[in-house]
């Protein structure tokens, strides 16, 4: 909000409008440049990620296999092992980046991420319950275990988000109340998780910790399909709904004055963000930091007043796949990707903070 006041007034008038039928917007070449650069880097990193490993395959051979060539061993390794893993990384990262951008734009808080809606906390608690309690104890955990870890995590995440939404609904949804209720519900879920870790056997606790850190290890096509389907449906919806984000940016009263139906548009956007985050978390565990840092980084790269959606999705995918490449190959052992996303993302955010301290807006 303060950023608007600090900007020299001449810049606003100098922007070129773009009109297409009933829609209109402002021509922002930086948004397009940042998105396309991210996309190009993403393709490159994904190809390298598929090629590297215990059985190295050159870039040219990777491309050959992808269009149907290569020998049998290469086809198996690329198509059955590394491609699904990389695709899961791309899709999960894109979903997290987009979800984070939407959440931060609605909450108008740079600290907001889908975590605040309780999605990841709920999914984590459910997953920990499945790992620690197994099938033996009780009807609910038995049913969840039978459904499998990803489905259980998805249900847990969606249920928690629905709970947060229901508890914060009071003659409509207010961003402030939603965030605070989310903190409360998330704290309960996290307490349950840490209690489960204390009562678990050590090996179960270790297994749960890997999941809780976020890992792409041993992800196959069965993980790619649900995330891919979710993105195909949700990305267009998110981009359509995003038109109201500009109005929401000015606060409730102004947005209402601009003729927005606050509850409907905000509820729809939250639903999209939650669905994206829940599907992503169910597939790969809560990969830290992508949803939090990528929208902030993209906002600074683009120089806009709120996180750009498409650019956030592309760069979320880039960060996740790049982190997975490092997690798989940089050290001797294979780390969970969530550790690397945090180690990569945190210093970059700090660097941007130090360089453009004045550009930060709440």
C-alpha angle 132/203/88, rounded to 5°? 75
The answer to whether 362 contacts other proteins (rule: CB under 8 A) is yes
Distance CA 108, CA 242 (A): 14
The answer to whether 303 contacts other proteins (rule: CB under 8 A) is no
Burial per residue of 103-112, b for 16 or more beta-carbon CB atoms within 10 angstroms, e otherwise: bbbbbbebeb
Please enumerate in sequence order all residues whose Cβ is within 8 A of that of 181, keeping only pairs 6 or more positions apart, or say none. 164, 167, 168
Interface residue with other proteins among 82, 108, 266, 315 (CB under 8 A) is 108
Binding mask 312-341 for other proteins (x = CB under 8 A): ---------------------x-xx-xxxx
Nearer to other proteins, 23 or 203 (CB): 203
Interface residue with other proteins among 41, 190, 225, 241 (CB under 8 A) is 190
Nearer to other proteins, 11 or 358 (CB): 358
Q: Which stretch binds other proteins (CB under 8 A): 21-29, 191-199, 253-261, 274-282?
A: 191-199
The answer to whether 120 contacts other proteins (rule: CB under 8 A) is no
Q: How many residues bind other proteins (CB under 8 A)?
A: 66
Nearest CA-CA partner of 275 in 189, 120, 103, 158: 158
Please enumerate in sequence order all residues whose Cβ is within 8 A of that of 338, keeping only pairs 6 or more positions apart, or say none. 213, 214, 215, 285, 286, 287, 288, 289
Residue 261's φ and ψ, nearest 5 degrees, are: -85, 100
The answer to whether 343 contacts other proteins (rule: CB under 8 A) is yes
Interface residue with other proteins among 131, 227, 260, 292 (CB under 8 A) is 292
Q: Which stretch binds other proteins (CB under 8 A): 49-57, 221-229, 231-239, 288-296?
A: 288-296
The answer to whether 213 contacts other proteins (rule: CB under 8 A) is yes
Nearer to other proteins, 27 or 176 (CB): 176
What's the min distance (Å) between Cβ of 342 and other proteins? 3
Please enumerate in sequence order all residues whose Cβ is within 8 A of that of 322, keeping only pairs 6 or more positions apart, or say none. 45, 344
Nearest CA-CA partner of 93 in 350, 276, 354, 241: 276
Which residue is it, tokens 């149907």? 68
The answer to whether 241 contacts other proteins (rule: CB under 8 A) is no
Distance CA 253, CA 100 (A): 24
Cβ(283)–Cβ(219) under 8 Å? yes
The answer to whether 206 contacts other proteins (rule: CB under 8 A) is yes
**What are the helix (H) ranges across 171-220?**
175-199, 202-213
Cβ(146)–Cβ(135) under 8 Å? yes
Beta-bridge partners for 76:
none
What is the full DSSP assignment across 105-123? Answer: HHHT-TT--GGGGTHHHHH
Q: By CB under 8 A, what part of segment 35-94 binds other proteins? A: none
The answer to whether 345 contacts other proteins (rule: CB under 8 A) is yes
**Separation in Å, CA 130 to CA 114, 139, 227:** 22, 12, 21
What's the min distance (Å) between Cβ of 212 and other proteins? 8
Which residue is it, tokens 């409008």? 17
Nearer to other proteins, 45 or 112 (CB): 112
The answer to whether 20 contacts other proteins (rule: CB under 8 A) is no
The answer to whether 167 contacts other proteins (rule: CB under 8 A) is yes
The answer to whether 138 contacts other proteins (rule: CB under 8 A) is no
The answer to whether 247 contacts other proteins (rule: CB under 8 A) is no
What's the min distance (Å) between Cβ of 101 and other proteins? 16
Which letter does DSSP use for residue 171 in this model?
S
User: Which spans of this chain sit near other proteins (rule: CB under 8 A)?
Assistant: 1-2, 107-111, 167-168, 170, 174-177, 179-181, 183-185, 187-188, 190-192, 194-195, 197-198, 202-203, 205-206, 209-210, 212-213, 251, 288-289, 292-293, 296, 333, 335-336, 338-343, 345-347, 349-350, 353-358, 360-362
């Amino acid at each position: 909000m303060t950023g608007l006041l600090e900007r020299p007034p001449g810049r606003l008038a100098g922007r070129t409008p773009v009109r297409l039928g009933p829609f209109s917007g402002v021509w922002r070449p930086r948004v397009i440049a940042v998105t396309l650069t991210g996309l190009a880097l993403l393709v490159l990193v994904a190809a390298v990620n598929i090629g590297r490993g215990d059985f190295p395959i050159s870039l040219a051979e990777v491309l050959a296999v992808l269009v149907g060539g290569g020998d049998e061993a290469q086809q198996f390794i690329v198509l059955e092992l590394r491609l699904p893993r990389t695709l899961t990384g791309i899709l999960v990262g894109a979903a997290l980046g987009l979800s984070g951008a939407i959440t931060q734009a609605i909450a108008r808080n740079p600290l907001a991420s889908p975590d605040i809606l309780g999605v990841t906390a709920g999914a984590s608690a459910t997953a920990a319950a499945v790992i620690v309690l197994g099938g033996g104890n009780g009807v609910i955990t038995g049913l969840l275990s039978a459904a499998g870890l990803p489905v259980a995590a998805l249900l847990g995440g969606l249920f928690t988000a629905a709970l947060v939404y229901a508890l914060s609904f009071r003659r409509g949804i207010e961003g402030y109340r939603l965030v605070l209720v989310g903190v409360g519900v998330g704290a309960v879920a996290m307490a349950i998780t840490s209690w489960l870790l204390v009562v678990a056997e050590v090996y179960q606790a270790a297994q749960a910790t890997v999941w809780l850190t976020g890992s792409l290890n041993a992800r196959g096509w069965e993980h790619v399909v649900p995330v891919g389907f979710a993105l195909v449906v949700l990305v267009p919806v998110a981009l359509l709904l995003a038109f109201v984000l500009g109005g929401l940016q000015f606060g409730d009263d102004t947005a209402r004055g601009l003729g927005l139906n606050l509850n409907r548009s905000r509820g729809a956007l939250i639903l999209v963000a939650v669905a994206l985050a829940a599907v992503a978390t169910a597939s790969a565990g809560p990969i830290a930091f992508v949803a939090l840092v990528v929208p902030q980084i993209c906002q600074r790269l683009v120089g806009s007043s709120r996180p750009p959606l498409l650019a956030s999705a592309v760069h979320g995918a880039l960060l996740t796949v790049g982190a997975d490449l490092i997690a798989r190959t940089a050290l001797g052992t294979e780390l969970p990707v969530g550790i690397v996303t945090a180690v990569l993302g945190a210093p970059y955010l700090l660097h941007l903070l130090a360089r453009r301290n004045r550009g930060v807006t709440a």
